Amino acid sequence: METFKKLKQFYWPYRKNFYISLIFLLLVTVITVIYPVILQVTIDEVMKKQQFQYVPYIALGFIGIMALKGLFTYFNQYLGDVFGIRSVYRLRNELYEKLQFLPFRYYDNAKTGDLMSRLTADVEGFRFFLSYGFSELIRFALLVTISLSLMFYYSVALTFVTLLAMPFLAFVTYRFDKRVHPAFRGIRKSFGKLNTNVQENISGINTVKSLSREGYQIDKFNNSNVDYKDKFISTANVWAKYFPLMEFIGNACVVGLLGFGGYLVIDGQLSEGALVAFFSLVWYIVWPIANLGFVINQFSQAKASGERLLEILEAEEDIHDIPGAKDVPNLNGHVTFENVTFSYPNEEKAALQNVSFDAPPGKQIGLIGATGSGKTSITQLITRFYEPEEGRILIDGKEVNNYTLHSLRNQIGFVLQESFLFSSSIKSNIAYGRPNASMDEIVRAAKMAQAHEFIMELPNGYDTMLGERGMGLSGGQKQRIAIARALILDPTILVLDDATSAVDMQTEFNIQKELKEALAGRTTFIIAHRISSLKHADEILVLDEGNVVERGTHEELIQINGPYRRIYDIQYKDQKTVLQAQTN
């Protein structure tokens, strides 16, 4: 029960619903156990004594009891469902909120499909046990307790004969739980992998089709599906072995009861009606025990689901506001790196090694280098997406962890190479960081990003609804909307991470021309592979394997026969050749 104790905070506030449902459950159980008593009275007091005038009254009373049982069952089930639904409503919200604040380190190894299955299938599995499983266990306990009490009343000896089978049932049940729990945990993990395959395939369908890898994806999904199927069959095998065994023990108990009970009736120690009632009561014990496997099945599924949910809830939020962190409404944007070293999780090689630089307010810093050289790592440390292992990162002379995450990130605008857009209108996407932005501000940001013209050519302009991940727009159009989304925040620090890589040279030139006014007074970090994107920067840092190997302005760096000059020569070689040909 350790898993349920850890998740107690989510269902305990709604225990009132659960307790009231238990009251109705008790009433339902009592009425259920009354049936055998009515049978005993009918046989011994009416049939044997031929008091048939009481039959209509017994029938009416029986109908009334059944009506009451139906009413009480309704309230019991309804309140039980409300208890489970309200509990997982809180749990689901808490899980989703937790995912919003987990650091990038967590998502480096997380699978989207697996996380989706946890928030859907695992939450639902836990809810089902809260709504149904808990009350079933208590119903079984009540039914067995009340039935045993009546059985002892009818015949102590016959009751002890019945109880001889209980230790065997308890042992089989214990063994069943030990086998079925790990089996269901395996099923949950396999289902998460299956979900991940589906999610990745749908998200990357363009890549799959362009490379004709449909067959590979089908095989990959089939392998996951086979694993899911095999784990289910393995679990079904456990169920198939233990459930008949429990049923056999219960039926053996009934056979013993009939034999010994018949002897007691013949010997005059027990009436016929009492034997019929006793036989009915035995089924109220055997039936719950025989079905205990089903409840244990649900319990094991809920426990496995709860463990997977706790893995999210208990995941460490290693990046958070430190005690004394302050909200700063307006930063100047003076960024300083002092001997910063940083490595990604599970990576032996450092992404940055002893990196130092100073970016005064309003200056443009260009970052260039091969893929994996550490360009993006620098900007992710500024926003505290990750924490450095060594060194200090300062903004306006204070270490970044002296500011609250909200106030820090609220003043840093990001435009990434892969621009993610939501399934909403273009207007909503641009104003995502400032939901209260006016239409004039939205249009102004779009114009600076060279997006206004193509937006107005769309059927519904700024109200045009986008498909998932911005489907319906080209890569360049998505990037321009992402630039507008960053500019509308009016950030003190702006990060352009290959933000114009998907646009043509002319559009890039136009964007840079429009951005001159927008970038004035902002500290800007421009990450690019094209020299044309950062040649106007106040300082350019050339990175290689996490080290700053060169720094200076564009004019200074092309005079040095180093990495920057080599990149320059490669990118402008064709242009020089064309110009020379035209001159000749």
How do residues 384-410 score in pLDDT, each as one tens digit?
888 898 999 999 989 998 999 888 888
Q: What is the mean pLDDT of residues 258-284?
A: 78
The average pLDDT across 530-544 equals: 87
Asked if residue 406 and residue 260 are part of one domain, the reply reads no
Which residues sit opposite 335 in a β-bridge?
359, 395
pLDDT at residue 433 in the model:
83
Q: How confident is the model at residue 469 (pLDDT cuts 50, 70, 90)?
A: low
pLDDT at 497: 82
State residue 499's pLDDT score. 61
- The answer to the question of residue 568 being in a domain is yes
| pLDDT score, position 583 | 47
The whole domain housing 228 covers 2-313
Give residue 578's pLDDT.
43
CA gap 135, 298 in Å, rounded: 12
Q: Is the pLDDT of residue 561 over 60?
A: yes
In a domain, 65, yes or no: yes
Q: What is the pLDDT of residue 508?
A: 67
The more confidently predicted of residues 329 and 518 is 329
Residues 167 and 62 occupy one common structural domain: yes
Confidence of residue 470 (pLDDT cuts 50, 70, 90): low
Q: What is the pLDDT of residue 471?
A: 66
In the sheet with 539-544, reading across from the earlier edge strand, the strands are 412-415, 493-497, 523-527, 364-369, 539-544, 547-552
Kindly list the distances between the CA atom of residue 186 and the CA atoms of 84, 229, 308, in Å, as whole numbers in the listed order.
24, 11, 11
- Does the residue 150 lie in any domain? yes
For the cut 70, the answer to whether the pLDDT of residue 52 exceeds it is: yes
Q: Is the dihedral of CA 13, 18, 19, 20 positive or negative?
A: positive
Q: What is the DSSP string of 401-445?
A: GGB-HHHHHTTEEEE-SS----SSBHHHHHTTT-TT--HHHHHHH
Tell me the C-alpha distance between 42 and 44, whole Å.
Answer: 6
Same domain, yes or no, for 403 and 257? no
Quote the CA–CA distance of 404 and 387 in Å, as a whole number: 14
Say which residue the tokens 């990450």 belong to. 527
Are the C-beta atoms of residues 286 and 250 closer than 8 Å to each other? Answer: yes
Q: What does the pLDDT read at residue 339? A: 93
Torsions phi, psi of 340, nearest 5? -85, 125
The pLDDT assigned to 581 comes to: 45
Q: What angle do CA 528, 530, 535 make, to 5 degrees?
A: 85
Do residues 417 and 535 make contact, with C-beta atoms less than 8 angstroms apart?
Answer: no
Same domain? For 109 and 229 the reply is: yes
pLDDT band at 582 (very low <50, low <70, confident <90, very high): very low
Type of residue at 6: K
Same domain for 124 and 239, yes or no, is yes
What pLDDT is stored for residue 539 in this prediction? 92
Decide: helix, strand or coil at residue 398: strand
Mean pLDDT of 239-245: 73
Assess contact for 205 and 260: CB atoms under 8 A.
Answer: no
- Give the model's confidence band at 65: pLDDT under 50 very low, under 70 low, under 90 confident, else very high: confident
Average pLDDT, integer, range 91-110: 83
| pLDDT tens digits along 149-183 | 888 888 888 878 777 767 777 677 767 767 776 77
The pLDDT value given to residue 483: 84
Q: Would 275 be classed as within a structural domain?
A: yes
Which region, left, alpha or beta, applies to residue 469 given φ > 0 means left and ψ of -120 to 50 means alpha?
left
Token pair in block for residue 501:
């890589």
Q: pLDDT by residue (tens digit) across 369-385?
A: 888 888 888 988 998 88
Whether 368 and 266 map to the same domain: the answer is no
pLDDT band at 359 (very low <50, low <70, confident <90, very high): very high
Asked, for residue 447, whether it belongs to a domain, the answer is no
More confident residue, 432 or 175: 432
Listed residues 280, 313, 346: the one ending a domain: 313
Residue 58: CB atoms within 10 A of its CB come to 14
Q: How many structural domains comprise the chain? A: 2
Instruction: Please list, in sequence order, all residues whose beta carbon lies within 8 angstroms of the beta carbon of residue 314, skipping any fewer than 6 positions away.
Output: 6
According to the model, what pLDDT value does residue 42 have? 80
Q: What is the spatial distance between Cα 465 and Cα 285, in angstroms, rounded to a whole number?
A: 60
Q: Within this chain, do residues 245 and 337 fall inside the same structural domain, yes or no? A: no
Residue 201 tokens read as 């395939």
pLDDT reported for residue 177: 66
Nearest to 287 by CA among 295, 298, 276: 295
Tell me the sheet residues that pair with 497. 527
- Position 144 confidence tier, pLDDT thresholds 50, 70, 90: confident
pLDDT attached to residue 534: 84
Q: Whole-angstrom Cα distance, residue 498 to residue 578?
A: 27
- On whether residue 505 sits in a domain, the answer given is no
Alpha-carbon distance of 462 to 441, in angstroms, equals 13
Residue predicted with more confidence, 111 or 351? 351
Residue 560 sits in a domain whose CATH number is 3.40.50.300
Last residue of a domain, one of 250, 280, 313: 313
- What is the C-alpha to C-alpha distance for residues 227 and 190, in angstroms, rounded to an integer? 7
Is there a contact between 248 and 197 (Cβ–Cβ < 8 Å)?
A: no
**pLDDT above 70 (res 208):** no
The pLDDT value given to residue 459: 83
Q: Give yes or no for residue 337 having a pLDDT over 90.
A: yes
Spatial separation of the C-alpha atoms in residues 561 and 570, rounded to whole Å: 13
Residues 300 and 356 occupy one common structural domain: no
Are 361 and 279 within one domain? no
Residue 540: predicted pLDDT: 92
Contact at 8 Å (CB) between 80 and 138?
Answer: no
Integer Cα distance of 113 and 220 in angstroms: 15
Q: How far is CA 463 from CA 14, 62, 121, 427, 458, in A?
A: 43, 65, 35, 6, 9
Task: Check residue 584 and give its pLDDT.
Answer: 44
DSSP symbols for 220-259: HHHHHHHHHHHHHHHHHHHHHHHHHHHHHHHHHHHHHHHH
Q: Please give the pLDDT value at position 503.
A: 60
Burial of 81-117, coded b for 16+ CB within 10 Å and e otherwise, reads: bbbbebbbeebbebbeebbeebbebbeeebbebbbeb
In a shared domain, residues 9 and 98: yes
Q: Which of 16-30, 76-90, 297-311 has the weakest average pLDDT? A: 297-311
Pick from 343, 362, 350, 357: nearest CA to 392: 357
- Calculate what percentage of the chain has a pLDDT beyond 90: 10
Residue 335 clears pLDDT 90, i.e. is over it: yes
Residues 345 and 330 sit within 8 Å (Cβ to Cβ): no
Position 370: which residue type?
Answer: A
Q: How confident is the model at residue 511 (pLDDT cuts 50, 70, 90)?
A: low
Question: Which residue would you say has higher pLDDT here, 567 or 245?
Answer: 567
Residue 418 in any domain: the answer is no
Return the pLDDT at 542.
92
Domain boundary among the residues 279, 313, 347 is at 313
Residues counted in the chain: 584
Of 321-330, 439-448, 463-472, the one with minimum mean pLDDT is 463-472
Q: What is the mean pLDDT of residues 80-99?
A: 88
Spatial CB neighbours of 17, under 8 Å, sequence gap ≥ 6: 79, 80, 82, 83, 86
CATH number of domain containing 236: 1.20.1560.10
Please indicate, yes or no, whether the overall pTM of this predicted structure exceeds 0.85.
Answer: no
Instruction: Specify whether 383 is located in the same domain as 273.
Output: no
What value does the mean pLDDT take over residues 49-68? 80
Residue 426 lies in a domain: no
Regarding whether 276 and 395 lie in a shared domain, the answer is no
State yes or no: pLDDT of 75 exceeds 90. Answer: yes
